[in-house]
């Protein structure tokens, strides 16, 4: 039949391991970007301004944006916290915030409330301007 393919049952154990929010030239653990999970979301988004990148490992624009996000986080020394949340591994947070497309950046205020959102890839200049604006508050 044309247009229909049979799918093979794949062995889940043979699936390659996912490396969270990493690019080939970037370390997996980076203190400048905190991994946000369902269990840590509320605690990590309170107390200071927080910029969270919602992403997925299969998303090409997310993989293109990750080095920019990490670079800005590394270079920033102000009171703004940076976090990354993989939506497939943390569906509770994605559902709570109604994340419908990725990448999505969400900015949280010190009280944990959402104060801004941007869907799609953001330029480095726009991200730096947002962070600078938050630092002046």
Which of 51, 62, 94, 102 is catalytic? The answer is 62
For residues 35 and 21, the answer to whether their CB atoms sit within 8 Å is: yes
Query: Which residues contact residue 80 at a Cβ distance below 8 angstroms, ignoring those fewer than 6 apart?
Result: 48, 49, 50, 51, 131, 134, 135
Q: Is 59 a catalytic residue?
A: yes
Catalytic residue status for 62: yes
DSSP E strand boundaries for the chain: 34-35, 50-55, 81-86, 104-108, 114-119
Active-site position among 59, 85, 93, 102: 59
Q: Which residues are catalytic?
A: 59, 62
């Amino acid at each position: 039949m044309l247009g229909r393919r049979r799918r093979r049952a794949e062995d889940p154990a043979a699936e390659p391991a996912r490396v969270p929010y990493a690019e080939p030239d970037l370390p997996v653990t980076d203190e400048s970007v905190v991994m946000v999970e369902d269990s840590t979301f509320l605690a990590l988004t309170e107390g200071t301004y927080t910029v969270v990148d919602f992403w997925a490992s299969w998303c090409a624009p997310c993989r293109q944006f990750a080095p920019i996000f990490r670079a800005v986080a590394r270079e920033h020394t102000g009171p703004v916290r940076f976090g990354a949340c993989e939506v497939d591994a943390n569906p509770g947070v994605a559902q709570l915030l109604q994340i419908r497309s990725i990448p999505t950046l969400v900015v949280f205020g010190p009280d944990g409330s959402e104060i801004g959102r941007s869907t799609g890839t953001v330029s480095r200049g726009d991200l730096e301007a947002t962070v600078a604006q938050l630092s002046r508050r």
